[in-house]
Amino acid sequence: MRKEEVIEWKMQSDIRRRLNGIAGSFQRLSKSVTSFAEPLKIQEDRMIPEILEEVSFQVCKGCAECERCWEREQKESYHAMQQLVALVQSGETEAGRESYADFLEHCNQGGRLIEELHRSIFQVRQSMLWRSRLNESREAVADQLSEMARIVGEFAGNLEHKGKRAWYLPGTIYAKLWLKQIKARQMLLIELEDGGVELHMTAKCRKGRCVTTKEAALLLSNMLGEKLIPGEDSRNVIGRDYAEYVFREDANFQVLTGVARAARADSRISGDNFSFLYPEGDEFIMLLSDGMGSGEAACRESELVIELLEQFLEAGFKEEAAMKLINSMLVLRTDNNMFSTMDICVLHLATGMCDFMKAGAAATYILRENWMESLCSDNLPAGILSCISCETKKKKLYHGDYIIMLSDGVLDGIEGEAFLRAALAETKSSNPQELANAILDAAMFREKYQPKDDMTVLVTGVFRRGM
């Protein structure tokens, strides 16, 4: 190994070691932040004896019957006070007055006792509320740190998170590339989670030659039996100096999209927002968010959700992690009580596998000739509960399939599949935009063109390349 190669190898090893160290630090920080949290019920129960002692001291210290209650009848008085606290905690103070009439009849300060218990327990619960907010913030930070650990781990070459399996290519591949004037080293073929493949290669050209990455992709495709194309971030030409190149499996599918929208009758602005993304070239993502209500406020809320989803997904966050982080942000906002649905569809263009994730969203439909399947969820939108439940489903799509994603204003509680079949029966077109228009027109006709809620229809057609 030449001196330059030794230096480069040592630099790469040092960078990989440091990145793995950073990833491990993020993971440890995440675990330590999570360990700070304590169940709020345990905290409240722990404070009850302190409440009893404080209230009894303040109320009973000047009472003529204090000696009888807290010395001669201490056990009975303490037991009665515990039961009274339990009733005040549950809000049944009137029942407490009836159930413990004997105790209150002999207590000169009965009314004041209940008043002070109310005040003390209210203060404790206010404290618990802020601690709950703090715990939610800690959970959000822990999730972010854990996700950062995963991303940094991938950058460090921790391939177990990126793909299922990886192989170093045999020497015969290196020899064949050598004959084509390409000197390669460190060639690694990765099987991705969606079933596609990705080839990482460090290479340069021999004898001052230059080979385009498209030519190299064609050579590698013939050698490996996989149709490869250069990665988006790779150079266009393999030059005289070593550089890293990435080749991805060419997409077998392409998509066409259509969108149709309408705002609620008494609003000029729709509370629905959507987006289409191509984050890595071999994926297509549909995003739809329905803000609570309609108008400008709902639009701002759903727009924020879509923008955050775009940023997280393009930065490399997993879909479920992105949804949990956004939910934590919405829960922690104290300026309003807004919430939004989250509907995500990720189509892997190389394999046709499709992942659907929902949080409070309306049903999504897959249309295949005369067959239709609905994908529903019964969980809540983001921003309501601190712990969001993300329902995930995986489906295989084929040439000619359509994905129909809707906001709940389109269906309005009716039988979705029957409505969609009737709406699409009026059109013979296979164009996604015309299908979206037909669905929206049918929904508007049903509402006599005075929609009671915002309506958004997203239609994506999946087609095999070259057909």
**SS3 sequence of 328-344:** HHHHHCCCCCCCECEEE
3-state DSSP call for residue 399?
Answer: coil
> Of the candidates 133, 158, 183, which is a domain's last residue?
158
Residue type (1 letter), 82:
Q
On whether both 75 and 99 belong to a single domain, the answer is yes
Mean pLDDT of 429-445: 93
On whether both 301 and 418 belong to a single domain, the answer is yes
- pLDDT of 400-421, one tens digit each? 999 999 998 998 767 778 889 8
Per mean pLDDT, which of 21-25, 54-58, 82-86, 291-295 is the most reliable? Answer: 291-295
pLDDT at 330: 78
- pLDDT of 55-83, one tens digit each? 776 777 777 777 677 767 777 777 777 77
pLDDT at 3: 46
List CB contacts of 143: < 8 A, sequence separation 6 or more.
30, 321, 324, 325, 328
On whether both 387 and 450 belong to a single domain, the answer is yes
On whether both 391 and 313 belong to a single domain, the answer is yes
What is the rounded CA–CA span in Å between residue 197 and residue 165? Answer: 10
pLDDT at 81: 73
On whether both 2 and 16 belong to a single domain, the answer is yes
115-119, 168-172, 198-202, 461-465, range with the lowest pLDDT: 115-119
20 to each of 33, 146, 168, 227, how far by Cα in Å?
20, 13, 21, 33
pLDDT surpasses 90 at 461: yes
On whether both 435 and 288 belong to a single domain, the answer is yes
On whether both 438 and 292 belong to a single domain, the answer is yes
pLDDT band for position 218 (cuts 50, 70, 90): very high
Q: Which domain holds residue 287?
A: 253-464
On whether both 130 and 91 belong to a single domain, the answer is yes
Look-up: residue for tokens 């030659």? 209
Task: Specify the number of domains making up the chain.
Answer: 3
> Of the candidates 158, 179, 211, which is a domain's last residue?
158
> Of the candidates 204, 234, 249, which is a domain's last residue?
249
CATH of the domain at 424: 3.60.40.10
Are the C-beta atoms of 344 and 359 separated by less than 8 Å? Answer: no
List CB contacts of 284: < 8 A, sequence separation 6 or more.
255, 276, 277, 278, 346, 347, 349, 460
On whether both 175 and 79 belong to a single domain, the answer is no
Buried b (16+ CB within 10 A) or exposed e, 11-50: eeeeeeeebbebbeebbebbeebbeebeeeeeebeebbee
* Residue scoring higher pLDDT (29 or 274): 274
Residue type (1 letter), 122:
F
Torsion angle of the four alpha carbons 408, 413, 414, 420, in this order, in degrees rounded to the nearest 10: 10
What is the rounded CA–CA span in Å between residue 148 and residue 56? Answer: 51
On whether both 244 and 288 belong to a single domain, the answer is no
On whether both 94 and 211 belong to a single domain, the answer is no
On whether both 82 and 191 belong to a single domain, the answer is no
pLDDT band for position 161 (cuts 50, 70, 90): very low
